[in-house]
Structure formats: C-alpha cells, structure tokens
Amino acid sequence: MAFKTLGYELPVSNKMKMTLEAFENVKEITPGEDLADVIFDSASRNRWQWHNRDIIVLAQKIVSKAEGRLVNLKTVKPSPQAIKYAQYVDKDVRLIELILQESRRVLRTRAGLMIVQHKLGFICANAGIDHSNISIDGNLSEDFVLLLPENPDQSAENLRTRLLQLTGKQIGVLIIDSHGRAWRKGVVGISIGFSGIPAIIDLRGRKDRNNYSLKITEISPVDELSAAASLLMGQADEGRPLVAVRGFPYDLRDSNLSEVIREENLDLFR
C-alpha cells in the first residue's frame, strides 16, 4: 500500500492538542483472531470516530496471541547450551532454551535475568518472552509462555491495510512492549513494530528559539508515543491493550523498526 511522506514540519498553529483514549472492555484474544475486526468493533463500542492520521496503539501481547505465538514449555527440549546457562541463571531450562532460540546473542546474565539481542535487532531482557496473564481457554496456565511477534512491522502493515478497508481512513499502527533501560529503574513502553508512522524525526539544521542551528537532535516519536500509550494501558490487570491517538504532531509516513535501532559500530556500550 503506497504511503508517501508529506514532510516532517510541525503544524503552523501554536495551539496543539493530542488526545489518547484507551478502549475499555476489549475481548480476550485467541490464536487466529482478526485483530482489525477487534479494533474496529472496540472503537465502535467506545464511540471512537476514525479520522485520517489517527493512530492505533496495540500492546504486543494481543498481537502475539492472535498470531499464535504461545509455546507450551512441556514441548521444549533444552539444548546443551541452555543446560549450561541454567547452571548459573536461575530460570527454567526450557525457558532459557526459548530465549536462546529467539536471540542473536546473549550480552549479559545474572540470576533470573538474561540480556540479549533479540532476532528483531533490539536489546531486551529474556528475549521479551512473557509469562504473565497467559490463559488457555480462559484458564491461567503455568506451562505456556508468549513470544514476541515474528515480524511486528509486517503485523502492523497488515493491520493498517485492513483498517483502511474497514474505516476508509489512513491510520497509523503502532505495536509496543514494556522494556527496561540500562541506566534507569522501571519499565517504559517502547515500539517494536509500526506502519505509517515516522520512526525518527531529524531536526538537525532546524533553528531553536535563539536562532541556534540544531546539530545532533533526532527524536523518536514512535517511542515517545509508546511511552504515553503505555501509561493508559497499564501493566497488570487493567485489560486495556488498545489506545487510539489523535493529533499526532507529525505527518504520517512509511518507516520500520530498523530506523530506530542504533548500528552496533555506533554503540559505545557494546
């Protein structure tokens, strides 16, 4: 689906307003679910009227559930490498095996934690594998874990195409997850896949209020928006995995996750 950039400039008006609304009473997602239909139905029930340039933010968990990324630990056979890590990483050896399968490399470990470079390119804890709020046929299961989507950018693109068909509007799609940060405590929402949203806004060369030309300033609106939406979604039993956004202050354009990830040769900490 063609999606041309219209530029990055902020609107001329000094009066700006962005609205975020979390949809309530979103149904429990099962493997094979059509998430576009879920979004469309949830918007209708929450009386959200779609406009061009709106954005829908999805929690990673419902995307992974819909795509059948559930794994039964009983089916996992640990490799010799996983067994070796289990000697000093206090985790189920089967979970360690999945972490290794989902990662390009292991960067750091300690008891209960493995910091890895995920196959998608970013650095995260335990390959983003989730064990919380996993239910099978409505019942919580200790045997199942949830992996990240295989290709979140493609998942977002597919959803954007379907939502255009359902709504007739050009809507950006953002998939987010909660990640920790190397130098700070606490998790924040970050982007792991998106479609129709600029990943990076390059402000180098733009003048500040003192007519100083910015030299290094690049911002990541997908991560800024992810953090804001995560506040409304919550982290426990809130059940609000969908957040609709209006008033995003930049033009929508095609982009992908690779734009956000710093090249390893420019990473001073690896």
Q: What is the pLDDT of residues 104-162, one digit of tens each?
A: 999 999 998 999 999 999 999 999 998 765 666 655 567 899 999 999 999 999 999 99
Domain boundaries defined on the chain:
19-67+149-261, 70-145
Alpha helix (H) residue ranges in the chain? 35-45, 60-66, 80-86, 93-101, 152-167, 221-233
> Could you tell me the fold of the domain covering 70-145?
CofE-like fold (3.90.1660)
According to CATH, what is the number of the domain 19-67+149-261?
3.30.1330.100
Q: Enter the DSSP assignment of 213.
A: B
Q: Is the pLDDT of residue 172 over 50?
A: yes
> CA 81 to CA 129: how far, in whole Å?
18
Q: How many whole angstroms separate alpha carbon 57 and alpha carbon 71?
A: 25
In sign, the C-alpha dihedral spanning 147, 162, 235, 109 is: positive
d(CA 168, CA 52): 9
Q: Left (φ > 0), alpha (ψ -120 to 50) or beta: where does 32 sit? A: left
Longest dimension (CA), the chain: 62
Give tens-digit pLDDT for 184-194.
999 999 999 99
Query: Could you identify the residue written with the tokens 């918007």?
Result: 43
Q: What is the pTM of this model?
A: 0.89
| 264 has pLDDT over 80 | yes
pLDDT tens digits, one per residue of 44-92: 999 999 999 999 999 999 999 999 999 999 999 999 999 999 999 989 9
CA 103/CA 199 separation, integer angstroms: 23
